[in-house]
């Protein structure tokens, strides 16, 4: 099934505004639906298209990129090889998995300058960065990112219309949703279990069986595990990936790399972490040492937390080494009885939602008055020269001590303060308490 994606509108604007002056590069983690979206766009928006999938080796097409001096020859042979007729300014050529043929990406400069057709590339950011040693990286690219389906896209996929458009009305007026909140939270819990990976959603729609969905998600995680072993044969990336749930569950101030690695030796892990982040399979939230200034200026690269790109995959990863029937999160989420000690599932969801809106992830910790414990603000948003702190709760608790103390400490720089939780929207003094599904509106 082809799902409705918000990125489609961005792609349409690129086509209408750039008129072939740049190629469109759609990047994202594997299995988020890049190829499907791009081909659907080509079918609907162009008279004809040629799709070259570089993961399927075709030597006759590959050799065409060895010499791009005669574009008439190139286009002639491309049409002959694919059986597709190209129409000037009405056709698009898709380079799928372009990282596997670096010369094709280098050719973008000349193809765009020629101006006859549009070009769309898809690829993984990690491999796009790795496979550029011997080529000239084209500057004629407009880059966009495709994430897993967000909550609203998930609602569209399962036939819930109009999605979340009505929720913004309640958020803007700062009034509770009432009965609509309970239904939306039921849908959100289903989204947390199924996730936003197109294959997992397809399995859910076809089978209505969460055990089958779990199997699909395990296949995706196994694929990521294999990818990580390719970039890191020592298995460090794989161990770090599997440690994400346990690390979040400890509520530690930062990701304990030695615990995740099961070793005190951490040489080379900075490169491994950079590769993992580039894969877009994980999201890193960095500690902002000084929230008074731009977070990037005070980012502590040694203190970070790690989240998975998709909360549906995260739920499966929590019980990676156990059978589906032992996964208590499925039952507890479905029955709305998720324990407070499983609140890290909601934390991963909020991280996913904030990242999908283009926010860089930051958090802040500082000692309590006694110095025996720490206050922690789960996420920080930068809005102009102001800060919006966010505390995440997996239940309906109204206590927000960390949030209150942070706002006292940095009172001159606070724009808005949020408690993200599972109950309906309400205010508690200066704190706006919002249901989790409103996170993208913050």
Res 396 pLDDT > 70:
no
Domains of the chain: 7-145 (3.40.50), 151-441 (no CATH)
Is the CB of residue 81 less than 8 Å from the CB of residue 61?
yes
Answer yes or no: is pLDDT of 281 > 80.
yes
Q: What are phi and psi of 414, to 5 degrees?
A: -90, 125
Listed in sequence order, the DSSP H helices in 262-370 are 269-279, 311-318, 328-334, 344-356
What b/e sequence results for 340-356 when a residue is b if at least 16 CB atoms lie within 10 Å of its CB, and e otherwise?
eebbbbbbbbbbbbbbb
Three-class DSSP category at 239: helix
* Cα–Cα distance measured from residue 321 to residue 133, given in angstroms and rounded to the nearest whole number: 38
Share of the chain above pLDDT 70, in %: 96
pLDDT range class, residue 289, cuts 50, 70, 90: very high
User: What pLDDT was estimated at residue 395?
Assistant: 76
Before 162, cis peptide (omega within 30)? yes
Residues 6 or more apart whose CB falls under 8 angstroms from that of 193 comprise: 210, 213, 312, 315, 329, 330, 333, 334
pLDDT of amino acid 264: 58
3-state secondary structure of 261: helix
223 by DSSP, 3-state: which? helix
Instruction: Burial-class residue 177 by CB neighbours within 10 Å (0-12, 13-18, 19+).
Output: buried
Q: Is the dihedral of CA 321, 325, 328, 329 positive or negative?
A: positive
Pairing of strands 374-377, 362-367: antiparallel
Task: Check residue 304 and give its pLDDT.
Answer: 94
What is the predicted pLDDT for the residue at 435?
97
Residue 127 has pLDDT above 80, yes or no: no
* In the predicted structure, residue 382 carries a pLDDT above the cut 80: yes
- Please give the C-alpha separations between residue 278 and each of 68, 99, 274, 281, 311, in angstroms, as whole numbers: 30, 14, 6, 8, 19
What is the mean predicted confidence (pLDDT) over 309-313?
A: 97
- Of residues 425 and 328, the one with the higher pLDDT is 425
What is residue 399's predicted lDDT score, i.e. its pLDDT? 82
What mean pLDDT is predicted for residues 236-257? 87
Would you tell me how many other CB atoms lie within 10 Å of the CB of residue 19? Answer: 11
For residue 74, pLDDT beyond 80: yes
Closest to 214 (Cα-Cα) out of 200, 224, 198: 200
Residue 263, pLDDT > 80, answer no
Percentages helix, strand, coil for the chain (3-state, rounded to 5) are 50, 20, 35
On the question of pLDDT at 114 being above 80, the answer is yes
**Side-chain half-sphere CA neighbours of 69 within 13 A:** 1
pLDDT in tens, 130-164: 666 667 778 899 999 999 999 999 999 999 988 88
In the chain, the percentage of residues whose pLDDT exceeds 90 is 73
Interval 321-344 mean pLDDT: 81
d(CA 338, CA 341): 8
| CA-closest candidate to residue 35, choices 85, 86, 95 | 95
Q: How big is the chain, counted in residues?
A: 442
């Amino acid at each position: 099934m082809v799902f409705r994606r918000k990125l489609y509108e961005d792609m349409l604007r690129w086509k209408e505004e750039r008129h072939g002056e740049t190629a469109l590069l759609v990047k994202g983690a594997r299995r988020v639906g890049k190829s499907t979206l791009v081909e659907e766009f080509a079918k609907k928006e162009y008279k004809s298209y040629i799709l070259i999938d570089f993961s399927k080796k075709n030597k006759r097409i590959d050799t065409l990129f060895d010499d791009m001096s005669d574009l008439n020859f190139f286009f002639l042979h491309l049409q002959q090889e694919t059986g597709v007729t190209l129409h000037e300014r009405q056709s698009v050529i898709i380079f799928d998995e372009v990282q596997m043929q670096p010369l094709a990406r280098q050719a973008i400069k000349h193809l765009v300058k020629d101006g006859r057709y549009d070009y769309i590339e898809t690829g993984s950011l990690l491999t796009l960065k790795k496979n550029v040693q011997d080529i000239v990286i084209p500057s004629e690219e407009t880059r966009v990112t495709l994430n897993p389906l967000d909550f609203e896209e998930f609602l569209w996929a399962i036939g819930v219309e109009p999605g979340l458009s009505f929720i913004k009305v309640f958020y803007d007026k700062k009034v509770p949703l009432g009965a609509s909140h309970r239904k939306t939270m039921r849908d959100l819990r289903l989204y947390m279990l199924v996730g936003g990976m197109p294959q997992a959603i397809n399995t859910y729609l076809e089978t209505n069986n969460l055990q089958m969905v779990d199997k699909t998600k395990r296949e995706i995680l196994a694929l990521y595990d294999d990818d990580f072993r390719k970039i890191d044969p020592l298995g460090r990336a794989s161990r770090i990936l599997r440690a994400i749930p346990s690390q979040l569950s400890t509520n530690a101030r930062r990701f304990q790399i030695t615990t995740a690695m099961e070793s005190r030796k951490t040489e080379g892990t900075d490169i491994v972490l950079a590769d993992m982040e580039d894969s877009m399979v994980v999201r890193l939230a960095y500690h902002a040492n000084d929230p008074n200034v731009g977070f990037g200026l005070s980012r502590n690269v040694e203190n970070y937390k790690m989240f998975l790109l998709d909360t549906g995959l995260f739920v499966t990863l929590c019980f990676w080494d156990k059978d589906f029937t032992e996964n208590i999160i499925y039952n507890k989420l479905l029955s709305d009885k998720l324990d407070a000690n499983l609140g890290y599932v909601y934390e991963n969801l909020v991280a996913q939602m904030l990242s999908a809106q283009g926010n860089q992830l930051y958090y802040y910790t500082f000692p309590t008055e006694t110095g025996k414990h720490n206050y922690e603000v789960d996420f920080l948003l930068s809005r102009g020269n102001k800060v919006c702190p966010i505390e995440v709760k997996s239940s309906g608790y109204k206590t927000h001590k960390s949030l209150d103390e942070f706002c006292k400490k940095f009172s001159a720089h606070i724009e808005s303060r949020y408690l993200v939780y599972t109950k309906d929207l309400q205010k508690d003094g200066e704190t706006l308490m919002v249901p989790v599904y409103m996170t993208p509106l913050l």
